[in-house]
C-alpha cells in the first residue's frame, strides 16, 4: 500500500474539514489530513468559485509547504439568477451565521414556486512546485419552504435532493451524493490519471 498523501485542507471551518476527511477516507488512495497548522486568513476576493478555491489552496500551500486542498462552494438558486453563488457563506452579511444565511434565502424565496437550485463545489489542489489542479462537483436539488432536519451545516436544512434535505440524511448518506463528495472524487480520479 502506498504511503498516505499528506494534505492540508485550506479551511478553518471544522465542518468542512470533517466532511472532506470523511469523503477521502472512502477512496482507494490513502490520505492524511494534516491538522493543527496555522496560516493567515485568506480573503475570498475572486468573482468565481474556482478563483477563490485556487486563492485559498495557493496561500495555504505556500504558508505550510504542504499540498493543499482549497474548496469554494456556492448554492445557485434559479429563481435568484444563480445567487447567492460565490457569496453563499456571506449571503446575509460578512459575519453572517448559518441561520442568518438560511433566513435570508427563505425570505427571498417567499411565495416563489420555482425553487430549483444546485450546489456547486470547486476544488483546487496545489502541490508546491506543481501546476494546480482544479475540478468541480455539482448536485441538483431544490430549496424547501422551511427547515427540515437537524444534521449538517450551512444550507443543509433547506436543500432537498429527492425526498430528503441534506440535514435529514446521515453523514454517510450525504457524503455518498454531495457536491463536495463529487468534487473530491473528481480530484482523486484526476490525480490517478496524472499518475498513470
Catalytic residues: 72
The answer to whether 179 touches 157, Cβ cutoff 8 Å, is no
Q: Are 75 and 166 in contact (CB under 8 A)?
A: no
In sequence order, the β-bridge partners of residue 119 are: 75, 139
Give the single-character DSSP code of 174.
H
Helix (H, G, I), strand (E, B) or coil at 107: helix
Helix, strand, or coil (residue 23): helix
* Residue 166 CB coordination number (10 Å): 27
Amino acid at each position: 500500500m502506498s504511503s498516505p498523501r499528506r494534505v492540508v485542507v485550506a479551511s478553518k471551518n471544522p465542518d468542512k474539514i470533517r466532511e472532506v476527511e470523511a469523503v477521502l477516507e472512502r477512496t482507494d488512495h490513502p490520505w492524511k489530513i494534516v491538522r493543527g497548522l496555522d496560516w493567515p486568513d485568506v480573503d475570498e476576493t475572486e468573482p468565481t468559485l474556482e478563483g477563490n478555491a485556487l486563492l485559498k489552496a495557493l496561500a495555504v500551500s505556500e504558508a505550510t509547504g504542504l499540498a493543499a486542498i482549497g474548496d469554494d462552494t456556492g448554492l445557485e438558486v434559479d429563481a435568484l439568477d444563480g445567487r447567492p453563488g460565490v457569496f453563499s457563506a456571506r449571503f446575509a452579511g460578512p459575519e453572517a451565521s448559518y441561520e442568518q444565511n438560511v433566513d435570508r434565502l427563505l425570505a427571498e424565496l417567499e411565495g416563489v414556486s420555482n425553487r430549483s437550485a444546485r450546489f456547486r463545489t470547486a476544488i483546487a489542489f496545489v502541490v508546491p512546485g506543481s501546476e494546480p489542479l482544479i475540478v468541480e462537483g455539482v448536485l441538483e436539488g431544490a430549496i424547501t419552504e422551511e427547515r427540515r432536519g437537524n444534521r449538517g451545516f450551512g444550507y443543509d436544512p433547506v436543500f432537498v435532493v429527492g425526498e430528503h434535505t441534506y440535514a435529514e440524511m446521515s453523514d454517510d448518506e450525504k457524503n455518498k451524493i454531495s457536491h463536495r463528495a463529487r468534487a473530491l472524487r473528481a480530484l482523486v480520479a484526476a490525480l490517478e490519471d496524472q499518475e498513470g
